[in-house]
Structure 1
Amino acid sequence: MHTIIEPFRIKMTEALPITARVERQRLLEAAQYNVFLLDAEHVTIDLLTDSGTGAMSDRQWAAMMIGDESYAGSSSWRRFEKAVRDITGFRHVFPTHQGRAAERVLAATRLRPGNVVPNNSHFDTTRANIEYVGAKAIDLLAPEARNLCSEDRFKGNLDLAGLERLIQAEGAENIPFCMITVTNNTAGGQPVSMQNIKSVKQILQRRAIPLVIDACRFAENAFFINQHEPGYSDRDLLEIAQEMFSLADAATMSAKKDGLANIGGFFACNDDYWAEDFRNLLILTEGFPTYGGLAGRDLEAVAVGLMEALEINYQRYRHATVEYVAERLLARNIPLVRPPGGHAVFIDAAAFCPHLTSSDYPGIGLVNALYLEGGVRAVELGSVMFGRPASEGVGEMPAPHELVRLAFPRRVYTQSHFDYVIEVLESVHRNRDAIRPFRIIRQPPFLRHFTAHFAIADN
């Protein structure tokens, strides 16, 4: 059989809100044209993020019922620790309430002002936590990823030559650790090859620089390696994940992605000194180290979900869903990052809206148009999220690309939902000349995309 079906059946349904266009126009105005500020009850298809928005399995719900809510040393913690250790092999495991908490404690304990942290691409909270302590977050994306339309399979790789140059320029002593994000969300959900991780490790090892993996989509990355990297087609996803982590010294993770849970994350490492520093700050800010800001029931859900994410039939279905949408959008001449990533379809908003410049924030215009047209919520990954705001006489620096991400919640929407999204995009594309420029009228100093206010620029 050639049809890839959902490897599950639906046991419970949730009503979707259906709104009228005139109502959506009013709601966008009230939300200051920032779709983050819309109430979920007014969103029909929510593709804002795949973080914590998935549907849990019956095994996860069953595990939650035996959650041990003891403050210290619960049995739920032991099951969580075992699952993380079985996958990563790290000796020290610390739960956190989500991935950004792990990033925050790592940055606070390991970085000082002026330090440099290279990565294939830092995502928003990773960059913000690094910069908040005065360090510099440097993106070293492989050159082939600059061409959004190329069909290279591992466009999430870290630029090896760029890493060598950075170490030479900054000095190894000023680089407390290097990161690799798998898959590379900023670059269109593109995977990182095992060979690239090995090569990065070899470069770092010669200079005694630790490697930290941002592992929130580790299972999706393992699937890409299984499907497209020579020598891995007969390896199961758990083995591939174990090999990835064996090359690292530590890992941060948001379990709201490939933990298939609605909340949770962890930090894991082998270094005793790192672990002691992390433990002390964790107690101060998150909670006792055996719960780390999570209820016992959440620890149980993550422990089960981490293993479910490594099931080959689940990954095959998830990737087929992304490819289904991407193929149909490309057939309608809608410009996308190619090949499709593991968790989302990324639209090239600059090519979609050629009449707008980066300073017009085409991604914001497009996400507003998608919501107005059909109640579909997406997210801008362009100059609002990744550009540099103007400061001290220096003008705003745009992002390298103006993207809009349609992130697919796990095990939530069916094919007809995605067919509807395709129709909405097709309609917006036909009328793309009507997409308006926007300007920012209010913004916070960090992570401005979450709460910024916008206005139509030509009003």
Structure 2
Amino acid sequence: MDKKYMPEPYKVKMVEPLRILQKEERVEAIKKAGYNTFLLNSRDVYIDLLTDSGTNAMSDRQWAGLMMGDEAYAGSDNWLHLKETVQSIMGFKHVVPTHQGRGAENLLSQVLVKPGTYIPGNMYFTTTRAHQEMNGGTFVDVIIDEAHISDKEDVLFKGNIDIKKYEDLINKVGAKNIPYICVGVTVNLAGGQPVSMKNLREVHELSQKHGIKVMFDCTRYVENAYFIKAREEEYKDKTIAEIVKEMFSYADGATMSGKKDGIVNIGGFLAMNDEDLYYKAAALVVVYEGMPSYGGMTGRDMEAFSIGLKEALDYNYIKHRIEQVEYLGNRLIEAGIPIVKPIGGHAVFLDAKKFLPHIPQSQYPAQVLAAEIYIESGVRTMERGNVSAGRNKEGKEYFPSLELVRLTIPRRVYSYAHLDYVAEAIINTYKRRDEIKGLKFSYEPPVLRFFTGKFEYI
């Protein structure tokens, strides 16, 4: 492979030492964790690709911002800065701060989701669907069919809503029973796949026609904007900020985890234009998060978040981020490793069904593959398949079409040399794939089982 690439658009100012355990120590560590990479201790991990949520490296300006924390209980300067930043970038009128994205999901679901309602979306996300179901709603997947086919690489916007599926749902259950449509930009469980501007416009038009709110899960909205710039001809000369502003003009509100495209370690918000929705959410945030002027964040967190939101719009930053992910994905493709294509924005997703075709989905091939990658190399990845999908209300497993292992790249953390090590680890695991056995639960929690469930080899 031609390994030419642009160097990082930043220089190192501080380092954090890494260590790697011996293989026999890794075997013992993953066994103790119940073959669940979430339960590994960070000190036992060499390269951590579990998530890009809160694992980012902050800039010198963000660290300086921490020293400007106004830790007032109400109405701090940092809150005013964060609110003004969100309003300026996204154009929403109202902002409710939360400690992270799922805090915003909780508020939105409690306010809008009622028993018997339906919430369409472009593929589920684990915590989002859990909040919707806990409030009596039913999630309905209206993503295009191609999103469920891992090697369908000629579809550049696999995160798109299927307008016909959405319209059919409206006709079937009635618009009054659909409080909002949840549009992820990008779509995590589809492989970090983007949504086109054209599709966002169409979803908005159909929703307006039927009086249905459009709510974005905008956790990785800058990545989505980059793909629009790169793949939609009419936007190639637009700035990331201009694309972002148009994207949000097609939404009534959004939930965000600042731990991704806010380039911080904690924080989030729920934003909206509807004043009535704002007042209801602001009343609830006091119960679950904190005052409507901090929502579980410290003043210093809000300052770093404000700065990170602005830094994320820099084209050189986001171009380097996407190209790092593409670099790892292309190395694996050249080695014949089955991954989701086209390569997404925040991670490379291994197709565990094709990687381990001898292991049935009932024996959790993605879960065991993540464990085996750790044993091979000390690299921590995560399962995104049957274990993450969980069970329906009748207790039956969902068996999603995509059974994936996610190699998630934190922002501004690892070098291309680290990614080369990861690629070799995956390739070496692939060479011994026929030796790998399936898993069964030794402990299965009742909800969000992928976080704390434990397994043993069959």
User: What's the CA shift for 1:145?
Assistant: 1.8
User: What's the CA shift for 1:395?
Assistant: 4.2
Structure 2-normalised TM-score? 0.98
Q: Find the counterpart in structure 2 of residue 184 from structure 1.
A: 187
Within-5 A mapping of 1:139-158: 139-151=141-153, 152-158=155-161
Alignment pair present for 1:52 and 2:54:
yes
Q: Is the 8 A contact 2:352 2:365 kept in 1?
A: yes
User: What's the CA shift for 1:147?
Assistant: 2.4
Within-5 A mapping of 1:15-94: 15-94=17-96
Q: Find the counterpart in structure 1 of residue 332 from structure 2.
A: 329
Q: Find the counterpart in structure 1 of residue 137 from structure 2.
A: 135
Within-5 A mapping of 1:326-405: 326-388=329-391, 395-405=396-406
User: What's the CA shift for 1:401?
Assistant: 1.2
User: What's the CA shift for 1:456?
Assistant: 0.5
Q: Is the 8 A contact 2:390 2:448 kept in 1?
A: no
User: What's the CA shift for 1:387?
Assistant: 4.0
Alignment pair present for 1:432 and 2:433:
yes
Amino acid at match of 1:4: M
Please give the secondary structure, in 2, of the residue aligned with 1:333. coil
Q: Find the counterpart in structure 2 of residue 410 from structure 1.
A: 411
Please give the secondary structure, in 1, of the residue aligned with 2:194. coil
Q: Comparing 253-262 with 87-96, which one deviates more in the overlay? A: 87-96
Amino acid at match of 2:277: W
List alignment gaps of at least 5 residues for structure 2: none
User: What's the CA shift for 1:133?
Assistant: 1.1
Residues 408-443 of structure 1: per-residue CA shift (max 9 Å, x gap): 010001111110001101100000011110011211
Please give the secondary structure, in 2, of the residue aligned with 1:114. coil
User: What's the CA shift for 1:365?
Assistant: 1.1
Structure 1-normalised TM-score? 0.97
Residues 320-371 of structure 1: per-residue CA shift (max 9 Å, x gap): 1111111110010000000100000000000000111111110011001100
Residues 193-247 of structure 1: per-residue CA shift (max 9 Å, x gap): 0000000111111100000000000000000001111210111001111111111
| Misfit runs of 4+, over 2 Å | 394-397
User: What's the CA shift for 1:384?
Assistant: 0.4
User: What's the CA shift for 1:397?
Assistant: 3.0
Amino acid at match of 1:98: Q
User: What's the CA shift for 1:138?
Assistant: 1.4
How far, CA to CA, are the matches of 1:440 and 1:449 in structure 2?
A: 11
How far, CA to CA, are the matches of 1:235 and 1:7 in structure 2?
A: 21
Q: Find the counterpart in structure 2 of residue 452 from structure 1.
A: 453
Superposed CA RMSD in Å reads 1.1
How far, CA to CA, are the matches of 2:360 and 2:160 in structure 1?
A: 28
Amino acid at match of 2:279: E
Q: Find the counterpart in structure 2 of residue 167 from structure 1.
A: 170
Structure 2 residue corresponding to 1:225, chosen from 224, 228, 235: 228
How far, CA to CA, are the matches of 1:29 and 1:161 in structure 2?
A: 47
Structure 1 residue corresponding to 2:250, chosen from 247, 251, 254: 247
User: What's the CA shift for 1:132?
Assistant: 1.1
Please give the secondary structure, in 2, of the residue aligned with 1:137. strand
Amino acid at match of 2:423: I
How far, CA to CA, are the matches of 1:123 and 1:283 in structure 2?
A: 25
Please give the secondary structure, in 2, of the residue aligned with 1:200. helix
Q: Is the 8 A contact 1:387 1:399 kept in 2?
A: no
How far, CA to CA, are the matches of 2:270 and 2:188 in structure 1?
A: 19
Please give the secondary structure, in 2, of the residue aligned with 1:94. strand
How far, CA to CA, are the matches of 2:346 and 2:193 in structure 1?
A: 9
Amino acid at match of 1:207: H
User: What's the CA shift for 1:388?
Assistant: 2.2
Alignment pair present for 1:95 and 2:97:
yes
Amino acid at match of 2:398: M
Alignment pair present for 1:9 and 2:11:
yes
Please give the secondary structure, in 1, of the residue aligned with 2:235. coil
Alignment pair present for 1:197 and 2:214:
no
Within-5 A mapping of 1:283-298: 283-298=286-301
List alignment gaps of at least 5 residues for structure 1: none
Amino acid at match of 2:200: I
Please give the secondary structure, in 1, of the residue aligned with 2:386. coil
Amino acid at match of 2:344: G
Q: Find the counterpart in structure 1 of residue 321 from structure 2.
A: 318
Amino acid at match of 2:411: R
How far, CA to CA, are the matches of 2:175 and 2:436 in structure 1?
A: 47
Please give the secondary structure, in 1, of the residue aligned with 2:350. strand
How far, CA to CA, are the matches of 1:246 and 1:257 in structure 2?
A: 21
Please give the secondary structure, in 2, of the residue aligned with 1:385. helix
Please give the secondary structure, in 1, of the residue aligned with 2:387. coil
Amino acid at match of 1:26: E
Alignment pair present for 1:282 and 2:285:
yes
Q: Is the 8 A contact 2:147 2:158 kept in 1?
A: yes
Amino acid at match of 2:7: I
How far, CA to CA, are the matches of 1:20 and 1:277 in structure 2?
A: 53
How far, CA to CA, are the matches of 1:94 and 1:283 in structure 2?
A: 10
Q: Is the 8 A contact 1:347 1:405 kept in 2?
A: yes
How far, CA to CA, are the matches of 2:252 and 2:147 in structure 1?
A: 26
Please give the secondary structure, in 1, of the residue aligned with 2:303. helix
